Amino acid sequence: MPQPIKVATAQFEHASGDKAFNLERIEALASQAKVQGARVVAFHECSITGYTFARRLSEAEMHELAEPIPDGTSIQALHRIAQALDIYLLAGLFERGDDGKLYKAYVCVGPAGLVAKYRKIHPFINPYLTPGSDYVVFEIEGWRCGILICYDNNVIENVRATALLGADVIFMPHVTMCTPSSRPGAGFVDPELWHNRHNDPTSLRAEFDGLKGRAWLMKWLPARAYDNGIYAVFANPIGMDDDQLKNGCSMIIDPFGDVLEECRALGEQVVTATLTPEKLTDAGGYRYRQARKPDLYRDIIGGEHDSQQKVAWMKS
């Protein structure tokens, strides 16, 4: 059984395409997490490169933005930070694979270098991205960890599969909330509220915490942790992501579905929580996995179905 470990999650306003700026914020927040005693700190999807602006990039521009892993300059920068702080970092970027294809990637880098790499299974921000085809489970100081990026977590089979492969902790980097959807209450948040947040934080908080933001998140995110008996480490940006506003709410959820710590600042922040191994077997999700009867539904879950996805806010 692993020993308790302190894990941090962070939020910040990234700059589209400005890797140097984003890596500087990653280093600053990782340093804060280190002071708080964290051994691991997680950042959001495409936290190195920026995200939504990529919907307008050509294939050539995407190749220019993307980097090889682990030999790219950004992974080398993460390694230097992890080595200097003696900490594990998780961050995201666009990857230029050895096969010449483009991927949405998320990496774990420790003091000794690259620990793990995951490619998003359900990418959609740019048409030239290739879906990943593998789950990943790796170890950090005795804790078995997995990664699922944003939309991957909405397909519940991905979370269950990663848990069944042995993950105690699933890192869930996102760029989400405050976008249109068919669900009631969804929609964009006016960027002017962000720019006026110091004078009127109340109006911005009301939008961020309502059905456009946190209230929607809390409908499903704690259930992923609870049903599977795992720790969920959710990371999301705050502020402007290209022309869209994001509301942060980076949080750490335990296997009972309880929020241990959450970023609540209207700006960049890092929070740290202690993960204890006893919760992994005390929680209901552990018993639910033991009670499974795969013979009843193996062919149903593994069968053919309509997998076409439509993203409302990308239609225009």
Give the tens place of pLDDT for each residue, 160-170.
999 999 999 99
**How do residues 213-261 score in pLDDT, each as one tens digit?**
999 999 999 999 999 999 999 999 999 999 999 999 999 999 999 999 9
pLDDT of the residue at 304: 85
Mean of the pLDDT values across residues 86-104?
98
pTM exceeds cut of 0.75: yes
The superfamily CATH assigns to domain 5-301 is Carbon-nitrogen hydrolase (3.60.110.10)
Helix (H) / strand (E) element for 241: namely strand 238-241
- How high is the pLDDT of residue 308? 59
Indicate the domain borders of the chain.
Answer: 5-301
% of the chain surpassing 70 pLDDT:
97
**Which positions ≥6 away from 166 have C-beta within 8 Å?**
137, 144
Instruction: List pLDDT tens digits, range 59-77.
Output: 999 999 999 999 999 999 9
Q: Which among 89, 117, 111 is positioned nearest to 30, based on CA atoms?
A: 89
Going by pLDDT thresholds of 50, 70 and 90, the confidence category of residue 316 is very low
Contacts 24+ apart (CB under 8 A), 257-264: 257/222, 257/223, 257/225, 257/226, 258/222, 259/222, 261/9, 263/9, 263/10, 263/11, 263/238
Pairing of strands 238-241, 231-235: unpaired
Determine the Cα–Cα distance for residues 48 and 21; give it in Å rounded to an integer. 9
Give the pLDDT score at 273: 98
Stretch 192-203: mean pLDDT: 98
Q: What is the pLDDT of residues 101-128, one digit of tens each?
A: 999 999 999 999 999 999 999 999 999 9
Helices marked H in 130-200? 156-164, 191-195
- H/E stretch holding 285: helix 284-290
Name residue, tokens 């579905």: 257
Question: For the CA atoms of the chain, what is the radius of gyration?
Answer: 19
